Amino acid sequence: MNAVKWVFLFQEGSVSMKELLGGKGANLAEMTGIGLPVPPGFTVTTEACRAFYASGRALPEGVMEQVSTAMHGIEDAKGQRFGDPHNPLLVSVRSGSVSSMPGMMDTILNLGLNDETVQGLAKETNNPRFAYDCYRRLIQMYGNVVLHIPLISFEDLLIRMKEERGYSEESEVTAEDWQSLVDQYKQLIEQEAAVPFPQNVNEQLEKAIEAVFLSWNNARAIIYRKAHRIPDEQGTAVNIQAMVFGNRGDDCGTGVVFTRNPSTGDKILFGEFLTNAQGEDVVAGIRTPLPIARMEQEMPPLYVQLAELADKLERHYKDMQDIEFTVDKHKLYILQTRGGKRTPQAAMRIAVQLVEEGIITKAEALLRIEETHLDQLLHRAIDCSGEPEVLAVGLPASPGAASGQAVFDTDTAEHWTKEGKPVILVRSETTPEDIHGVLAAEGVLTSRGGMTSHAAVVARGMGKPCVCGCESLDIDGNLFRAGDRTIREGDWISIDGANGRVIAGKVGLKEAELSAELEQMLQWADEVRTLRVMTNADNPEDARKASLFGAEGIGLCRTEHMFFGADRLPLVRHMILAESKEERLKWLAELLPIQHKDFAGLFRAMDGKPVTIRLLDPPMHEFLPNVDELSQRYYRLAAQERREAAVPEGHEFTSDRSASTKAAGLATAGLDSQDFPSAAVEKAEVEQLLRKVRLLHEANPMLGQRGCRLGIVFPEIYEMQAEAIFRAAAECAAEGIRALPEIMIPLVGHVNELELMRSLVDRIAKRVLGREAARCPYKVGTMIEVPRAALTAHQIAEKADFFSFGTNDMTQMTFGYSRDDAEGKFLTHYVEQKVIPHNPFQVLDREGVGQLIEWAVQKGRTVKPHLKTGVCGEHGGDRQSIFFCHAAGLDYISCSPYRVPLARIAAAQAQLLSGAGSQDQK
């Protein structure tokens, strides 16, 4: 049996081997293959990492043998030997997972130095300062990554040394200083880890490989994986690569470039550069680097070469790249490339540009739009109509605007956010360990670090606004100073990641608009998709907004939302509390003209597009005051009454029974207060109200008297609504507007329910429209949300013009979860424990609820082959659920106005991924 191959030389791999070699390793191999200047090296596979964990954290047999053979390869290529005291080979040991996780795992540079080889390096390069700088970096990284000594302990020693010597710049540090720091670092390690820094280079190598594998499970990597839905089982590869040095003189340097601007998508080389520095200095955000344009001035030929390589890489990968490079004595090396993380706006812009440049097809462009980007296509911006007080301006690292209370450490950020307080995380620099704080915060502000620092990269990937490198901020514990202003923990600030502004206080945010690129992409999406996209809207303003975003009609108007306005709620309450049908009719008659106006507004806004109106759905008690509050008031009044009985005439309005509190109390009860009756009279009113509210109380309102059950018991309510709809339709038709009402009966479980309600609607239509009927076409359909309705869909379809799946209620009833209780209690726990994969209220449960939908569609269409079917509710705005709707053959989905663009793109992606339509897309 052949031994497992754990190690692949860069010459042996390619980008297609990402699963095995990790992204970094596969790309290093690919770049080696196409002849780019990549220092020689090899990759230990992710399979080795999985085997490492499977065997209780031990390197599998054969790994170190294969590593050592591969090391000889590097030695031969470089003409150096690992551990050679005269001309030592140094390597980096780099993590590299399958999905990019910038900065989340560990890397060690300059491995192979010890007390002897450092002297060889000094002599060979004729540069002892450089050699000891490398050595102290190695000890620091090894101490941190392998022995878990906090970096700050090393930094402190460095700072103290610089202070003692009176240095302000690192460039003033001499070879002897570095050498003495090396001694201090070694002592620190002995103290903290109780083992010496290993002088045996092979021991260094083995420990470093193990540590990189272990870093797969450090806290920040775990959090990052969770946030980005990366499977825990994947594991990381380890890349071992000959070192090149950007830190041996001013003709050396290191940097990061993006082939396009990752914030805006502009087509210019974008990046940063530090002379005389080693890679970590840029990506760790410790020094704020220079913009890449400075490299053009300082090293013109190398800049040109870099630009050419960047272009070559972009064309090769057909995507914007994020490239790490180092210049070692006038020679350029590429150390990493990967698809660049970018903001949703930049993603859109870049994809459109790539299509226009003929690099990718429209279909590829559409398929590239990521799920998280879809959620954030529409970014908010600061409303500049006021004159904001600008405290400082930093680098615009990730666009979008955010307001929040300033906090200065990540744990506080997390706590406050949990308490529902929006926060802006303010740090001098953020390290990858801060990830949980970044995740929690509305936005991130740092005083140091560049646009390509890990903090900025991570924020952009999450679509969080970020301003970094804001050097005029003086951060001091739990406060910062900007000029003569001091901002303390808890003070409100705002940041604008599009232009780097830091603003005092809370500012108005304005909703985003569609960019030209997004419009373009949406148009391409419309050319492809077959699923129609409607919107949920209850008022003309939302309806118009949704139309601008491309909604093809209203898929759900929740009429109950129309009942909550201040002018209606009292009428609605009287109507509900009416003692007789007669009395109820009186209040309904008052509601009729109001509803009429509501519907006419919607028809006008949607002229020519269908407007699906759901008749009243929720249980009545939702419109009534809360029982507990009412009974408290009752007892207060009773006490008051007793006191009043003891007080002389004319002094009854005291303390808590002031006129205003009483008027407010009555208003919340929906009752008028023409006069101020005594406590006794009011108490009687409250008592009566309380009695009725108790009467309407239900043990389980979700399964109680609601939906069509209301319409059947109190037909006059639905009659009023139907009348209002048809009157509005007739009025609009007379104005030349095409009103297309589609009336939807909620919560049907038995065909007879629908039959009754349908004939009610038809009857009213005939009465109201009379001869106008021909000019006012309408449909009557039903929500399918009760499982029984889905199961008996063939019967229900006989009476329905359309089915609209109410997936929220359907999920509640299929799982037997009451949503409010589930989400408040066990559901998060379930998802965390992986009892179920997602919250089924967010992502449609294909196996259960989905099966019911498929069944209902199929059964319904056996009766009416062209039966219109759709989904309304939150699932309609979720990408995975939209994919399901497409696959299940639904005609449309309906979602909230702001999710309409997202839904259009997801619908196109669904079509493209299902295979059909991918040929004719070019």
> Which of the residues are catalytic?
454, 872
**Per CB under 5 A, 272 contacts Mg ion:** no
Segment interacting with Mg ion, rule: CB under 5 A, options 150-158, 696-704, 723-731, 801-809:
801-809
Strands 479-482 and 485-488: antiparallel
CA distances from 564 to 448, 561, 568, 573, 601 (A): 50, 6, 6, 10, 17
Considering CB distances under 5 to 8 angstroms, the limit depending on partner class, which of ligand ADP, Mg ion, none binds residue 243? Answer: ligand ADP
- Residue 244 C-beta: closest distance to Mg ion, Å: 14
Considering CB distances under 5 to 8 angstroms, the limit depending on partner class, which of ligand ADP, Mg ion, none binds residue 894? Answer: none
Give the residue at shortest CB distance from Mg ion. 809
Alpha helices (runs of H) in 79-116, residue ranges in sequence order: none
> 324 or 434: whose CB is closer to ligand ADP?
324
Considering CB distances under 5 to 8 angstroms, the limit depending on partner class, which of ligand ADP, Mg ion, none binds residue 321? Answer: none
Beta strands in 295-355, from DSSP E residues, in sequence order:
321-328, 331-339
> 324 or 617: whose CB is closer to ligand ADP?
324
Considering CB distances under 5 to 8 angstroms, the limit depending on partner class, which of ligand ADP, Mg ion, none binds residue 809? Answer: Mg ion
Question: Contact, 273 vs 254, CB < 8 A?
Answer: yes
From the number of C-beta atoms within 10 Å of its C-beta (0-12, 13-18, 19+), residue 674 rates as: exposed
Query: The dihedral of CA 349, 355, 360, 366: what is its sign?
Result: positive
- Residue 338 C-beta: closest distance to ligand ADP, Å: 9
Considering CB distances under 5 to 8 angstroms, the limit depending on partner class, which of Mg ion, ligand ADP, none binds residue 388? Answer: none
What is the per-residue DSSP string for 226-261?
HHTT--TTS-EEEEEEE---S-SSTT-EEEEEESS-
Site for Mg ion in 804-843 (CB under 5 A): 806, 809
Tokens of 860: 């319904």
> 112 or 128: whose CB is closer to ligand ADP?
112
Give the residue at shortest CB distance from ligand ADP. 279
- Residue 745 C-beta: closest distance to Mg ion, Å: 11
Strands 492-496 and 501-504: antiparallel
- Residue 326 C-beta: closest distance to ligand ADP, Å: 5
> 30 or 785: whose CB is closer to ligand ADP?
30
Instruction: Give the helix/strand (H/E) hosting 7.
Output: strand 7-9
Considering CB distances under 5 to 8 angstroms, the limit depending on partner class, which of Mg ion, ligand ADP, none binds residue 781? Answer: none
Tokens of 231: 């499977």
Q: φ and ψ at 656, to 5 degrees?
A: -70, -10
> 326 or 412: whose CB is closer to ligand ADP?
326
- Residue 27 C-beta: closest distance to ligand ADP, Å: 11
Taking the C-alpha atoms of residue 262 and residue 270, their distance in angstroms, rounded to an integer, is 8
- Residue 225 C-beta: closest distance to ligand ADP, Å: 15
> 282 or 616: whose CB is closer to ligand ADP?
282
Considering CB distances under 5 to 8 angstroms, the limit depending on partner class, which of Mg ion, ligand ADP, none binds residue 590? Answer: none
> 246 or 400: whose CB is closer to ligand ADP?
246
Q: Radius of gyration of the chain from Cα atoms?
A: 34
Three-class DSSP category at 625? coil
Question: Three-class SS string for 681-717?
Answer: HHHHHHHHHHHHHHHHCCCCHHHCCCCHHHHHHCHHH
Considering CB distances under 5 to 8 angstroms, the limit depending on partner class, which of Mg ion, ligand ADP, none binds residue 806? Answer: Mg ion
> 25 or 901: whose CB is closer to ligand ADP?
25
Q: Which residues contact 74 (CB under 8 A, 6 or more apart)?
A: 40, 41, 42, 82, 89, 91, 240, 241, 242
- Residue 334 C-beta: closest distance to ligand ADP, Å: 9
Three-class DSSP category at 397? strand
Of the candidates 152, 77, 81, which has an alpha carbon nearest to the alpha carbon of residue 112? Answer: 81
Site for Mg ion in 288-327 (CB under 5 A): none
Instruction: Give the helix/strand (H/E) hosting 438.
Output: helix 435-440
- Residue 335 C-beta: closest distance to ligand ADP, Å: 4
Site for Mg ion in 697-756 (CB under 5 A): none
> 71 or 708: whose CB is closer to ligand ADP?
71
> 253 or 860: whose CB is closer to ligand ADP?
253
Taking the C-alpha atoms of residue 544 and residue 607, their distance in angstroms, rounded to an integer, is 10
- Residue 7 C-beta: closest distance to Mg ion, Å: 21
> 547 or 811: whose CB is closer to Mg ion?
811
Tokens of 473: 């901020």
Tokens of 307: 């630009």
Query: For residue 358, is it left (φ>0), alpha (ψ between -120 and 50) or beta?
Result: left
What is the per-residue DSSP string for 246-307?
S-SSTT-EEEEEESS-TTT--SS-EEEEEES--THHHHTTSS--EETHHHHHHSHHHHHHHH
- Residue 217 C-beta: closest distance to ligand ADP, Å: 16
CA dihedral 809, 812, 816, 821 (to 10 degrees): -130
Measured in residues, the chain has a length of 922
Matching residue, tokens 């038709």: 733
Site for Mg ion in 767-786 (CB under 5 A): 785
CA distances from 483 to 478, 492, 639, 677, 837 (A): 17, 17, 59, 61, 50
Instruction: Give the helix/strand (H/E) hosting 719.
Output: helix 715-734
What is the per-residue DSSP string for 21-75?
HHHHHHHHHHHHHTT-----EEEE-HHHHHHHHHTTS-PPTTHHHHHHHHHHHHH
Considering CB distances under 5 to 8 angstroms, the limit depending on partner class, which of ligand ADP, Mg ion, none binds residue 109? Answer: ligand ADP
Instruction: Report the half-sphere exposure of 510 (CA within 13 A, side-chain side).
Output: 8
Strands 253-258 and 395-398: unpaired
Binding-site ranges for ligand ADP (CB under 6 A): 39, 92, 94, 102-103, 107, 109, 241-244, 279-280, 283, 324, 326, 335-336
- Residue 119 C-beta: closest distance to Mg ion, Å: 30
Of the candidates 697, 710, 705, 681, which has an alpha carbon nearest to the alpha carbon of residue 626? Answer: 697
Segment interacting with Mg ion, rule: CB under 5 A, options 8-16, 154-162, 328-336, 710-718:
328-336
Tokens of 775: 């000019």
- Residue 290 C-beta: closest distance to ligand ADP, Å: 15
Considering CB distances under 5 to 8 angstroms, the limit depending on partner class, which of ligand ADP, Mg ion, none binds residue 236? Answer: none
At 476, which amino acid appears? D
Considering CB distances under 5 to 8 angstroms, the limit depending on partner class, which of Mg ion, ligand ADP, none binds residue 241? Answer: ligand ADP
Strands 423-427 and 401-407: parallel
> 283 or 793: whose CB is closer to ligand ADP?
283
Taking the C-alpha atoms of residue 657 and residue 638, their distance in angstroms, rounded to an integer, is 12
Considering CB distances under 5 to 8 angstroms, the limit depending on partner class, which of Mg ion, ligand ADP, none binds residue 280? Answer: ligand ADP
> 552 or 785: whose CB is closer to Mg ion?
785
Considering CB distances under 5 to 8 angstroms, the limit depending on partner class, which of ligand ADP, Mg ion, none binds residue 595? Answer: none
Segment interacting with Mg ion, rule: CB under 5 A, options 188-196, 333-341, 378-386, 790-798:
333-341
- Residue 553 C-beta: closest distance to ligand ADP, Å: 48
By CB under 5 A, how many residues form the interface with Mg ion? 4
Q: Which of 179, 264, 336, 447 binds Mg ion (CB under 5 A)?
A: 336
Q: Which chain residues interact with Mg ion by CB under 5 A?
A: 336, 785, 806, 809
